[in-house]
Structure 1
């Protein structure tokens, strides 16, 4: 049990800026095994973002609440995934060879493609999150329990952050890691592919929110998987596999794809 706690806190330290116990370190062994808790960390980020939304929505406005929830998520993770997405935009936008792409991706400076990509994904995330409360049936007859009124919205947040963090783990299982491993912060996570038994834990964890929703919402997972593996295939074509930044980009795009899929299901299926 103590070992599993250390592995969990290692995942928490790797993916977020939340405080962890002092006994948590950067042990390569624990970091390698921490991938099974990535969706669980997603729940934590979603919980912080959802609570922020509820507070600001109650006392200010819905738009401000959505913006605040996005900022809360970014502060929680330290823009870990957003930074990866921006680096991918710069690298694949400005590089035409594997060597050039990897070189740009390692550059800490942010270029035009990265800025445009970052602004675009945040803008899309805001618009998609703005649509979600409109399709929450409970708002037609709200109760005094705000968590009950927004339970579908909150469940969607939980599912989105969990599923989107599951996608990089799946990509790690089926694709190869590329770049200089000695200088990469993702080396311990990516040096060994997750085994099938290890994959079962994050898969089951990521699917838990769907137990409290209509089965129709499971359909949202299909386009997310397709988009995630399409990106992985694109990365393999150009650089022979994935990097840590590529995994961050997959997480961000998967999250947006999940929100869009949920909205479509709400509007046209349910």
Structure 2
């Protein structure tokens, strides 16, 4: 393996170790610069996680109903990521829902305790995911939709780093090394790696999903800037969760219309 290829492989491993509980080699080099560059592989990490979850569903469905298999798959997914993105959604909902000023919202987001807004958002997100996937299980597109949802949602979330300011001032923020900046090359890698797996849905449906997600990204970005002046790591987790749900919902509406 050439030095350049090895460097890229190490960046992917850093992204995998950051965004999942999957083990990576202990000797994988780490620095804030490398961690920042590793964000380019967020969508590819999503692809790996999506394939693993699809495998769990497929094997479970050999023994259990679709509903039970989906429940087991969701449990596996939460264990696989350590509920990383769900935690971000919860913290963002608590902060923006419970704070009256930008400073207060950011302070609440850093609080590990869960409040009413966060609990409500988490329950609705998990319930929505189960309901949407249960409906998709009645069609042949469940597996490609599941994988595409994992990939495009992570590409969208990471793309917010490119054109939004990072507003948290905590030196201990776990997302700070990742969120400092994003180059055009890194954004391009995110977009390409996010689009290719989505082609499995077919070009017309993929374009419909992307159109809705781009609209969501634009609205979400404006909303975050208005509320907190930019984004935090928790906001990226929330963006991933919401855009994943939106992707499933678009596919369901497409199936209903066709």
Provide the TM-score with structure 2 as the length reference: 0.94
Query: What secondary structure does 1:250 align onto?
Result: helix
Residue matched to 2:118: 114
1:252 aligns with 2:231: no
Partner of 1:183, secondary structure, is coil
Tell me if structure 2 keeps the 8 A contact 1:39–1:202.
yes
Q: Is 1:190 paired with 2:190?
A: no
CA distance in 1, matches of 2:29, 2:225: 32
Deviates more, 1:99-108 or 1:176-185: 176-185
Separation of aligned partners in 2, 1:185 and 1:134: 39
Task: Please list the CA deviations of residues 186-229 of structure 1 after superposition, one character each: whole Å capped at 9, or x if unmatched.
Answer: 1111112x122221112111111233332111211111121133
| Corresponding position: 1:226 with 2:215 | yes
Offset, 1:26? 3.9
* Native 8 Å contact 1:228 1:253 kept in 2: no
- The equivalent residue for 2:12 is 8
Aligned residues: 253
Consecutive unaligned residues in structure 1, runs of 5 or more = 137-151
Deviation >3 Å, runs of 4+: 210-213
Tell me whether 164-173 or 250-259 shows the greater mean CA deviation: 164-173
Q: Distance in 1 between matches of 2:98 and 2:187?
A: 35
Equivalent in 245, 251, 255 of residue 266 of structure 1: 255
- Please say if 1:69 is aligned against 2:73: yes
Cα distance in 2 between the residues matched to 1:51 and 1:45: 10
- The counterpart of 2:189, out of the listed 177, 201, 225, is 201
Match of 1:143 in 2: none
Structure 1 contact 36–201 (Cα < 8 Å) conserved: yes
Match of 1:105 in 2: 109
Q: Conserved in 1, the CA contact under 8 Å of 2:66 and 2:137?
A: no
